[in-house]
Amino acid sequence: MASVRKTTPKGLMNPKLEAAINEQINAELYSSYLYLSMSSWFDSTGLKGFASWERIQAMEERDHAMKFFDHVCARGGRAIMKAIPAPPSTWKSPQDAFETQLEHELKVTSLINNLVDLAMAEKDHATVNFLQWFVSEQVEEEENARNTLDQLSMISQEKGVGLLYMLDKEMATRVYTPPVTTTS
């Protein structure tokens, strides 16, 4: 089918940023897959609270992908869906899963920072402004993983069963809060 748009109006998204944000959409969807995989693993180990927490984390990551998707479309670009690699499906322990999560969030922070650098270099002020929400969000994502790792490290394998049970119950209290929708 032929494109309806005959001309290239001013203000369309910078092609370098469009390509980079399309990569970020894929990375955010991978994050959602990773956390769904963790949710399934926690569920299979009987830690329903951890499973719930990770499921909500997966929903948040999906929302992040959609924020990027909407930004590309609002700027006159085109979001391109790509294959999402399969995430791991097992971990040695809850601590191992959250170490994986922290490592992953540090990688995502790097990706976001690279996008900010590119948007600044391309003088795309709208995208720089848009990305600031993600810069702040990554601080929260890293902090959540670190805090859970700190709590898990306090639990010894021999004496920590009761504490792990209590932490699992606390994890189950997390409530999904969709992001505030704003226009780009």
Greater model confidence, 152 or 132: 132
Q: Which pLDDT score is estimated for 51?
A: 97
- What pLDDT band is residue 161 in, cutting at 50, 70 and 90? low
Q: Which pLDDT score is estimated for 6?
A: 47
Q: Which pLDDT score is estimated for 149?
A: 92
71-113, pLDDT tens digit by residue? 999 999 999 999 999 999 999 999 999 999 999 999 999 999 9
Domains of the chain as residue ranges with CATH? 15-171 (1.20.1260.10)
Task: Quote the CA–CA distance of 90 and 82 in Å, as a whole number.
Answer: 24
Q: Own/partner pairs for 46-55, CB < 8 Å, 24+ apart?
A: 47/94, 47/164, 47/168, 47/171, 48/168, 48/172, 49/167, 49/168, 49/169, 49/170, 49/171, 49/172, 49/173, 50/94, 50/97, 50/168, 50/171, 52/171, 52/172, 52/174, 53/171, 53/172, 53/174
Task: Quote the CA–CA distance of 71 and 40 in Å, as a whole number.
Answer: 31
Q: Per-residue pLDDT for 116 more than 60?
A: yes
7-43, pLDDT tens digit by residue? 445 558 899 999 999 999 999 999 999 999 999 999 9
Task: Quote the CA–CA distance of 107 and 98 in Å, as a whole number.
Answer: 14
For the chain, what's the residue count?
184
Collapse the DSSP code of 69 into the 3-class scheme (helix H, G, I; strand E, B; otherwise coil) and give the result. helix
